[in-house]
Structure 1
């Protein structure tokens, strides 16, 4: 069998750029529902792909309920987000702590008893912060903002016209603008660290719509090499619950035909807490069948077969 050739501090800081309304790109509302569902399902099946935050998928929100919320707030939700919550999930696994439900997204994370005013348009079109005020404070000398100043800075009115769709942690969040000139775009709210409010951009310098933002994250999480690695671990650990009691050399031998040398070295090193470089350069010594007891080889292979590993490996190759 030919060996597979599959190869093996998230920076969430926003790039602060000045942009005017005339430079805003036309928002595309297409969203690949089935592709997104498929990738979310992969994460649900292989939760190790997401190292942080919850693994969940809420039911969709009924169209009538969405229409009612829109009518009550006198808004229309961005089409891609609306499609997502009515046809994929009303809150699910996502960046950081995950996507909040529509109801949760209207509740201010900082002020738990305050609801965000969606009818009033979001007031900003470019990065905003109280630079003059912040620079006037002698932070090094121990001076701190007064409670009244903090109250004003963190006022829910600052994010009117927005949904807080995702909690990053430490009070920071991603916003989806649903009313105002920035409607449809993702913004970063980092006021808890006095970082202000900033639009999010991709590597091409384009402002991120909800669909662009979510699928970019999704594609990174379920990148083929990551899925390959975590699925491999899942099957092998199922076959050998007490992996530490097995011989890593023999394990290298029975897995050899399914992986490239580099991938196999990475996998074995992770399973046994070894140095992948050492494994890589010693693989040639580990794949000689005469080194091992035939009965033990058959036992290892039987356990892998029972776990479903061979069927999965055949599909991957």
Structure 2
């Protein structure tokens, strides 16, 4: 992808920020259409050296041409910032990212469906218990088993979380493995599994498609609110 692919995007977002009806865009109260300053190419080189992985080209170019985070899908694009000589992403759920494992291939295959089905069938039902305390204890034990399976750090190696949509719904950018460069949805807070984010034509959503769709939708929302 050419380095000029993001030309004009920062200026477009700055115009959106001033437009009447901008607050009608979902998540805009979180980011306010404010973008972080772009990173220098040398800074991105340092970030990648720390992570031990090269970022997908379109996201890399975005950091350099548009900004290090801010205005974007959901409640905004998690900013990547440097504290001392270390870089990290900041946002609701950014701590789920293990920067030391970004070079490992992202696991496309989740837990064994049969294992998930069996665990779901074992979920305690309140009507099966005579005492509330016994049900609460059984449910707490089951929740621990479910969370250990669904929220294992192994599930998201090779990916970085870039945005949240509220209610602990998040979206990840895969940086290593066969899904590199694609966005995955994370609705595990609602007991749904990680899954690739697809466009209207069932095409995989790259960072570029994901961000530009958000921008186009934001423009339509603002125009419709006038």
**Is 1:214 aligned to 2:211, yes or no?**
yes
TM-score norm. by structure 1 comes to: 0.56
> Hey, what's the Cα distance between the residues in 1 that align with 2:157 and 2:188?
14
**Is 1:132 aligned to 2:117, yes or no?**
yes
Cα deviations across residues 118-157 of structure 1 (Å, max 9, x unaligned)? Answer: 1211011689866324422335436452425413421222
* Higher fraction of strand: 2
Deviation at 1:108, TM superposition (A): 8.7
**Is 1:118 aligned to 2:102, yes or no?**
yes
Aligned residue in 1 for 2:166: 169
Match of 2:9 among 16, 19, 36: 36
Aligned residue in 2 for 1:78: 56
Q: 1:165 to 1:112 in 2, by over 3 A?
A: closer
> Hey, what's the Cα distance between the residues in 2 that align with 1:128 and 1:199?
17
Aligned residue in 2 for 1:102: 80
Q: Does the CA contact (< 8 Å) of 1:95 and 1:217 recur in 2?
A: yes
Aligned residue in 2 for 1:153: 150
SS of structure 1 residue aligned to 2:10:
helix
> Hey, what's the Cα distance between the residues in 1 that align with 2:177 and 2:153?
16
Deviation at 1:48, TM superposition (A): 2.3
Aligned residues: 202
Q: 1:37 to 1:153 in 2, by over 3 A?
A: same
RMSD: 2.9
Q: Does the CA contact (< 8 Å) of 2:106 and 2:155 recur in 1?
A: yes
Gaps of 5+ in 1: 1-27, 233-317
Q: Does the CA contact (< 8 Å) of 2:110 and 2:155 recur in 1?
A: no
Aligned residue in 2 for 1:64: 42
TM-score norm. by structure 2 comes to: 0.76
SS of structure 1 residue aligned to 2:117:
helix
Gaps of 5+ in 2: 82-86, 127-134
